[in-house]
Each structure stands twice: as structure tokens, then as C-alpha cells.
Amino acid sequence: MPPSTDRPRAQKVPLRPGDRIFSGASTGAGVLILVVLAGVAAFLIVEAWPSLTAPAEDIPGGEGVAVYVWPLLFGTLISAIFALLIASPLAVAIALFVTYYSPRRIAQVLGYLIDLLAAVPSIIYGLWGFTVLAPLTVEPANWLSENLGFIPLFAGPPSATGRTMLVAIIVLAVMILPIITAVVREAFRQTPRLHEEASLALGATRWEMIRMAALPFGRSSIVGASMLGLGRALGETMAVAIVLSVSGGVTFNLISSANPSTIAANIALQFPESSGIAVNTLIASGLVLFAITLAVNMAARAVINRRKEFSGAN
């Protein structure tokens, strides 16, 4: 008789009560996140709708919701993007130093300090920027205006108090720096040891090993950490509200006293004294911030998924 080709059917192993509970709890937590997210979106849309349909003269400023939100949106984007441009390269450099160059004891101390900076409340950063950093930037701002005034970012006239968009950007960069550094540092630590040793065995220098092994492996983590820091900068409230001297308008000038506010800071400053349609207008600006944050997270996820196949993780 020819041998039978039928394979025995795999028996389904019954789940234990603990496995069922854990599976149900995990599924429920994932569904709960989606429900909460949908609830927040529905609340913002419902509360913002009266301001979206109201006549332009009833909106604060008398020019409509779009004109009211645009300077706030511009201030939010310019402060967050410039802060990210400052913080991301520094975070990657610090993570590389702590992981590959620093002695072990110094690396441990630096790691603790980075984690501690991530836990500092935002109001402390705001007070530091207002009392210490703002006065220190007055003279450099004058120099930038005199020597680099042809660049729109430093056109001037410089602020006499130092409470400028430049100071707000620096404060935001310092705030998001430990978050990005901590994530990137952990990613570099997960670089396969075999990849590093193989690069060094082939005659690569330490920097060449980092460039060929560590950076490709951690590229998706760098992108994800940067987007995490960008989300923090977009939603920062108290630090910007304390540091920035707001006068409205849209300008790329970072050192003058004419500064656009951010959406989050404007809501925090205006909400206690607002009523009626003004509250709906503030919620409409919050809806815009919610949409931007959601779009940033979705874009980061798309970039990470596209980079996975090129990452050393595979």
C-alpha cells in the first residue's frame, strides 16, 4: 500500500481562563482607544459647529473663523517645526555619544539626567525661558538684526524684552530634546551586536560602523521619535504662554515683539474670559490642532512602515 499523504489535523488547544481574560482585556483596550478618539472628535465637531456656521462679524475679530485661526495655526507650525529642526540633530548626536563614545559610568549618569529632563513640568521650562533665557537673547538678537537683517527670520526690529518667537522655539527644543534622545538611545542599544562587530572586523572605524550599522537600524525609530517630539511641541501650552509676548499677525520674524500665538496657548489664555460664540471659536481652533496632530501621527506611521523594509531590523 502506498504511504498515506494525509496529515493529521492539528488539534486546537483550548485557551486557559487567564489567556482569555488577557486577550479580552487587550482587545477591549484597543477598542476603547478608538472609541475615546472618536468621542473627542465628535465633541470638537459638535461644539465647533456654531462658530463654523455663524456670521463673520460674530466671531472674535469680526473676520470669520478662518482668519481667526490662521495666525494661530501659523504660530503653532513655525514654533514646532523650528524646535524640531533644532532638537532632532542634537538628540541623535547625544544618543550616539551616550551609546558608543561615552564611558559606561558617564553614560549612566547622562541617561539618568536625560530621563529627569523628560519629567520636568512644562511650566518650569516656561519660567526658565521667561526669567533666564529671554534676557540673555536681547544682545544676540540685536547682533542678528544688524548683521543678518536681510534674512526674513532676523529682520527686526529686535524686542527689548526678549520674549520672542526665537525664545519660545529654544524652550520647545529643550523640552522635546530628552523625549527624542531617550527613544533614539534605546533604538541604538537594540542594534544587533553581530552587525557592529562585523563592521569593525572588516576594518571600519567607529564612525563608519555607526553610519553603516547603527543609523540604518535606528532610522525608523529616529523618525518616530521626531514625530513624537513634534506632537509634544504642537500641543505645548504653558511654556509658550509664559514666554511669548503675543501681538497677533503672521510673520517669519523670530526676534521682533510682533509674535503670533499658538493654538494651545491662545486657548489657555482666552478660555477663562470667553463665553458664547467665543468659546465655540476656541474649540474650533482646538479642532484644527486635533486634525494636525492626527495627520502628523498618521504621516509618521506611514514613513515608518515604508522604511521598515530598508531598516537593519529586518
84 and 151 in contact (C-beta within 8 Å)? no
Q: What's the total number of domains in the chain? A: 1
**Residue 8 falls inside a structural domain:** no
Kindly give the parts of the chain with pLDDT less than 70: 1-15, 306-314
Examine residue 54 and state whether it is found in any structural domain, yes or no.
yes
pTM comes to 0.83
CATH number at residue 128: 1.10.3720.10
The answer to the question of residue 5 being in a domain is: no
pLDDT at res. 12: 63
- Boundaries of domain holding 38: 33-310
Name beta bridge partners: 14: none
Q: Name beta bridge partners: 246.
A: 259
SS (H, E, C) the chain: CCCCCCCCCCCCCCCCHHHHHHHHHHHHHHHHHHHHHHHHHHHHHHHHHHHHHCCHHHCCCCCCHHHHHHHHHHHHHHHHHHHHHHHHHHHHHHHHHHHHHCCHHHHHHHHHHHHHHHCCCHHHHHHHHHHHHHHHCHHHHHHHHHHCCCCHHHCCCCCCCCCCHHHHHHHHHHHHHHHHHHHHHHHHHCCCHHHHHHHHHCCCCHHHHHHHHHHHHHHHHHHHHHHHHHHHHHHCCHHHHHHCCECCCCCCCCCCCCECCCHHHHHHHHHHHCCCHHHHHHHHHHHHHHHHHHHHHHHHHHHHHHHHCCCCCC
Q: Is residue 73 part of a domain?
A: yes
Q: Are 164 and 254 in contact (CB under 8 A)?
A: yes
Q: In this structure, is residue 26 part of a structural domain?
A: no
Q: With 0-12 CB in 10 A as exposed, 13-18 as middle and 19+ as buried, what is 175?
A: buried
Whether residue 2 lies inside any domain: the answer is no
**Ramachandran angles phi, psi of 144, nearest 5°:** -65, -40
Q: Is 6 a domain residue?
A: no
- pLDDT for 11: 59
Give the integer Cα–Cα distance in Å for 209 and 29. Answer: 41
Shortest CA distance to 59 belongs to which of 278, 242, 237, 304? 278
Q: Tell me the per-residue pLDDT of 140-167, one tens digit each, with 9 for 90 and over.
A: 888 888 888 888 888 878 888 888 888 9
